[in-house]
Amino acid sequence: TRPQVYITRRIPERAFEVLREHAEIKVWDSDLPVPREILLKEVADADGLLCLLTEKVDAELLNAAPRLKVVSNMAVGFDNIDVAECTRRGIPVGNTPGVLTEATADLTWALLLAAARRIREAIDYVREGRWITWGPMLLLGQDVYGATIGIIGMGRIGTAVARRAKGFNMRILYHDVRRNEAAEAELGAVFVDMDTLLRESDFITIHTDLNPSTYRLINREAFAKMKPTAVLVNAARGPIVDTEALYEALKEGRIFAAALDVTDPEPLPADHPLLQLPNCMVVPHIGSATVTTRNRMAEIAALNVLAGLRGERLPYCVNPEVYERAAG
């Protein structure tokens, strides 16, 4: 009998093309997340799980899925998954790095430019019929060209953001848990401590993963160090920024603006105070949302499932130690 795969949402067709011949596929065929109690039932006979960052994969789920051989997240981030618990049970976990790097860097830049030049306010201004003349003092923003960018997390996405910054003739600072010598050599990026990055950057962009050491990394103390003209862009994970501290900083004009692709809580309710602030722009976690990128993510997620079902090494595995364990 063919292995069973459960897919937790309507995703690009490419995933089905990859898996169809090799597995029985069951899908939560909706644009909304599968309810937890249904997910827990559906995984009971699943050999493979293709899930999204909206599904919590924890001990409870794994207990409900005794046959599970592979967990494949259609995302690069995997903070929704208890990876240690998967490893302990010998289950490899896959993600989709690489293919979404450029799309996410593009979105970061869309947010950076829009926040610097107050595009959200400017669009509202026209729509509200307030545009009656050219104004020498109207909607003045911040220069991007030649400014200093501070990149927190110089991985694939951070480096792709820096590459774009080079075209804007920017001074590039970065902070990470490790040096990125390739980015230093290619882009002239300068490694600095967090304090220096916060104090000297005109634009601060976040591209780290979410883990205990990055949780609320951007807190009240961090905002206090930023320039009053600073623009913050978060295209990583919401909880890296302390939402309450961000609200205060924006409200009191301690920084110039913020643009967020991710929030805490996420989704952000429509009546959240952050959305009342003119200098805050929020988009609904669309960093990788291009047709081509989502097709590639679906394909890689499916290839990870397929490898897992066959007992082969996943092409993109976040817990390769699972194989040492099995061998050892």
Contact positions vs ligand GLV (CB under 6 A): 53, 75-77, 97, 100-101, 155-158, 207, 287-288
322: Cβ contacts below 8 Å, ≥ 6 apart: 86, 87, 90, 91, 92, 93
Q: Which is nearer to ligand GLV, 102 or 202 (CB)?
A: 102
> Nearest distance from residue 159's CB to ligand GLV, in Å?
8
Residue of 310, 284, 296 whose CA lies nearest to 97: 296
Q: Considering beta carbons, is residue 74 or 258 the nearer one to ligand GLV?
A: 74
Which residue's Cβ has the minimum distance to ligand GLV? 155
Report the residue number, 231 or 235, with the smaller CB distance to ligand GLV.
Answer: 235
Smallest gap from Cβ 245 to ligand GLV, in A, equals: 22
Least gap, CB of 110 to ligand GLV (angstroms): 16
- In the annotation, is 266 catalytic? yes
Backbone angles phi, psi at 129, to 5 degrees: 75, 25
10 Å Cβ neighbour count for 252? 10
175 carries an active-site annotation:
no
Residues 6+ apart with CB under 8 A from 283: 107, 111, 259, 260, 261
Residue 285 catalytic? yes
DSSP 3-state assignment of 150?
strand
- CB-neighbour burial class of residue 31 (10 A; exposed 0-12, middle 13-18, buried 19+): exposed
Give 57 or 76: the residue with its C-beta nearer to ligand GLV.
76
In the complex, the smallest distance separating the C-beta of residue 139 from ligand GLV, rounded to whole angstroms, is 31
Identified catalytic residue from 285, 294, 296, 299: 285
Q: Closest distance between ligand GLV and the C-beta of residue 240, in Å? A: 12
Nearest approach in angstroms of CB 280 to ligand GLV is 20
Nearer to ligand GLV, 78 or 203 (CB): 78
The tokens 């899930």 sit on which residue?
51
Show Cβ contacts of residue 139 under 8 Å, excluding neighbours closer than 6 positions. 117, 118, 121, 122, 125
Catalytic residue among 237, 294, 296, 299: 237
Per DSSP, helices labelled H in 78-175 are 83-88, 101-116, 119-127, 156-167
* Largest Cα–Cα separation, the chain: 74
Q: Which is nearer to ligand GLV, 149 or 157 (CB)?
A: 157
Q: Is residue 1 within 8 Å of residue 17, measured between CB atoms? A: no
Catalytic residue among 85, 266, 272, 321: 266
Catalytic residues: 237, 266, 285
